[in-house]
Copies of this chain bind each other. A is one copy, B any other.
């Protein structure tokens, strides 16, 4: 069990190291934080912290730097999430409010996150699984050809061609559109199948085939189009990584090119809180010298997708967590509004 003061020493080490990027020694620590004890005492504490594996020295006669375990303790016990200031929040809102469509929302979110945190930003497109239907549109393209357009509450739009087994009149189509929307608008994807299963019964026998075809295409669209996409940005921030970065940066860039890796990375984020994965906690080897801060976001209380940033383990965790959380919150709002 670490004493209160030792925890404070660890906190001070993390803060100083993140600020200066240089190993921090006992003397510097006592000068910059008033711990009320002498360097010698701090040295003893440091030795204890090192025994426990929270800090390490790059070489003898150098200061200490936090280990992954040290950062973990710092994040869990010693630091909160630093909230954004009011002007920052306003800036975020203004910037996101300018978005014209979903692509633009995602693109702006990436740029915003990258700028705020000065790190690499990753934003996943809202998934459809937990979305609700806003509107279904049916457009006649030819006598026996209909375009089905599905609009979700997250602003995503999917369209499909439907080849009907028989010609289908304008009025029947309008009828179907009206009935369909009155049943499914505002409902969850998962509920849709039950809601429409008896719909063909309301139509003349000759139209039932077409109605069924349209419905099954709709259901397919709902299920199929969960394909996860994502967008990344701010890779130029990788150059601020550190001195030895040629070696570090390459595997990171490679990992960032693998969508699968990134999705897995974000996928671990749980719903409410900000998730932090530090150094070796990341499964992917190339990301062993990076930390990932991610969080779910969504329009309602539920998360429909994730977003986050990737940066050096030596990062400003409270600030980054605050920025990520704030951005997620506002993106959620934007999605709910639009």
- Residues of A in contact with B (beta carbons under 8 Å apart): 100-101, 134-135, 137, 139, 141, 147, 149, 151, 155, 157-161, 220-221, 224, 233-236, 238-239, 245-246, 249-250, 253-254, 256-257, 338
Contact = CB atoms under 8 A, between A and B. Distances in A.
Contacts of A236: 250, 253-254, 257
Nearest to A254: B236
A136 to B, nearest CB: 10
Instruction: State the oligomeric state as a number of copies.
Output: 2
A160 B101 contact: yes
- A interface majority secondary structure: mixed
A257 B338 CA distance: 27
B134 A137 contact: no
12 contacts: A100-B221, A101-B159, A134-B147, A135-B139, A137-B137, A233-B257, A234-B257, A235-B256, A236-B250, A239-B250, A239-B253, A246-B246
A285 B26 CA distance: 45
Contacts of A147: 134-135, 151
Given A137-B149, A157-B157, A159-B157, A239 B246 contact: yes
Contacts of A233: 257
Nearest to A158: B101
Nearest to A236: B253
Contacts of A254: 236
Contact of A160 (B100, B159, B234): B100
B249 A239 contact: yes
Nearest 10 CB-CB pairings of A with B: A236-B253, A239-B250, A236-B254, A157-B159, A157-B157, A135-B139, A235-B253, A161-B338, A137-B137, A236-B250
Nearest to A220: B100
Contacts of A149: 137, 149, 151, 157
A253 B249 CA distance: 12
A96 B236 CA distance: 30
A159 B159 CA distance: 12
Contacts of A245: 246
Highest count of chain B CB atoms <10 Å: which of A155, A221, A234, A235: A235
Contacts of A161: 338
Contacts of A249: 239
A107 to B, nearest CB: 9
Nearest to A159: B157
Given A159-B101, A254-B236, A141 B134 contact: yes
B224 A253 contact: no
Nearest to A139: B135
A117 to B, nearest CB: 15
A238 B246 CA distance: 10
A256 B147 CA distance: 35
A139 B133 CA distance: 13
Nearest to A150: B157
A152 B43 CA distance: 70
A134 B233 CA distance: 34
A186 to B, nearest CB: 11
